[in-house]
Chains A and B, each alone.
Chain A
Amino acid sequence: MVETSNLSYAYKNGTVMAFPNIGLSPGEHLLVIGPSGVGKTTLLYLMAGLLPPLKGTVAIDGTKLNALSRKALDRFRGEQIGLIFQQYHFIKSLNVSENLLLRQSFPLKGHDKKRGYELTERLGLAEHLDKKVTALSQGQQQRLGIALGLIHRPKIIFADEPTSNLDDENCAKVIDLLKEEAKICQSSLLIITHDQRVKSHFQNHILL
Chain B
Amino acid sequence: MKLGYLAFKNMISKPLNLVLSLLLLSLSVSLVTFVLQLSQQLSGQLHKNIAPFDMVVGAKGSPLQLVLSSVLHVDFPTGNIKLKDAALLQKHPFVETAIPVSYGDNYKGFRILGTEVEYLNQYGAELSEGTLYKEAFEVIAGSKVAQQLDLQVGDRFISAHGFATADSQEHDEHPFIVKGILASTGTVVDQLLITTVESIWEAHEHDGNNDPDKDKGHKEVGGEHESEKEITALLVTFKSPLGMVQLPRFINENTPMQAALPGFEVQRLVGLLGSGAKTVNGIALAILLVSALSIFISLLKTIRERKQELALLRTYGLRTVQLLGLALMEGLFLAVLGFVSGWLLGRLGIWGISQYMQISYGYGLQIMAPERFEFFLFGLVIVLTIIATLLASRSIFKLNVAETLSDV
A, B from the same assembly: yes
- Residues of chain A having any CB pair with chain B under 8 Å: 41-42, 45, 48, 50-51, 70-71, 74-79, 81, 83, 85-87, 89-94, 98, 101-103, 105-107, 111, 160
Q: Are A45 and B402 in contact (CB under 8 A)?
A: yes
Contact A74 B9 (CB under 8 A): no
Indicate if the CB atoms of B312 and A41 lie closer than 8 Å.
no
Mark contacts of B300-326 with chain A using CB atoms, 8 A cut-off: 1 yes-contact digit, 0 otherwise: 000000001101111111110010000
**What's the Cα separation between A208 and B347 when bound, in Å?**
70
When distances are taken between beta carbons in the complex, the residues of chain A under 8 Å from B317 are 74-79, 106-107
Residues of chain B whose beta carbon lies under 8 Å from any beta carbon of chain A? 1-2, 6, 9-10, 12-13, 308-309, 311-319, 322, 401-402, 405-408
Taken together as a complex, chains A and B put the C-alpha atoms of A111 and B9 apart, in Å, by 20
The answer to whether A106 and B406 touch across the interface, beta carbons within 8 angstroms, is: no
CB distance from A52 to the nearest CB of B (A): 10
Partner of B9, one of A87, A89, A94: A94
B309 near A48 with CB under 8 A, answer: no
**Which residues from chain B contact A107 at a C-beta distance below 8 Å?**
317-318
Q: Could you list 11 further interchain pairs (A-B, Cβ under 8 angstroms) beyond the known A50-B315, A91-B6?
A: A41-B406, A45-B401, A45-B402, A50-B314, A77-B317, A79-B317, A81-B315, A93-B6, A105-B1, A106-B313, A107-B317
Taken together as a complex, chains A and B put the C-alpha atoms of A11 and B59 apart, in Å, by: 93
Asked whether, in the complex, the Cβ of B312 is within 8 Å of the Cβ of A74, the reply is no
* Closest Cβ–Cβ distance, residue A194 to chain B (whole Å): 13
Contact B318 A91 (CB under 8 A): no
Q: Is the CB of B318 within 8 A of A89?
A: no
The complex places the Cα of A75 from the Cα of B318 at a distance, in Å, of: 7
Contact present for A160 and B406 (CB under 8 Å): yes
List 11 interface pairs A-B (beta carbons < 8 Å), by A numbering. Answer: A77-B315, A83-B315, A86-B406, A93-B9, A93-B12, A93-B13, A98-B1, A98-B9, A102-B316, A106-B317, A106-B318
Given contacts A75-B317, A106-B318, contact A89 B6 (CB under 8 A): no
Top 6 nearest A-B pairs (CB, nearest first) are A78-B317, A93-B13, A45-B402, A93-B9, A105-B1, A89-B312
Contact of B406 among A45, A75, A78 (CB under 8 A): A45
- The residue in chain A whose Cβ has the minimal distance to the Cβ of B318 is A106
Distance in angstroms from B406 CB to nearest chain A CB is 5
Q: With a CB–CB cut-off of 8 A, which chain A residues contact B315?
A: 48, 50, 77-78, 81, 83
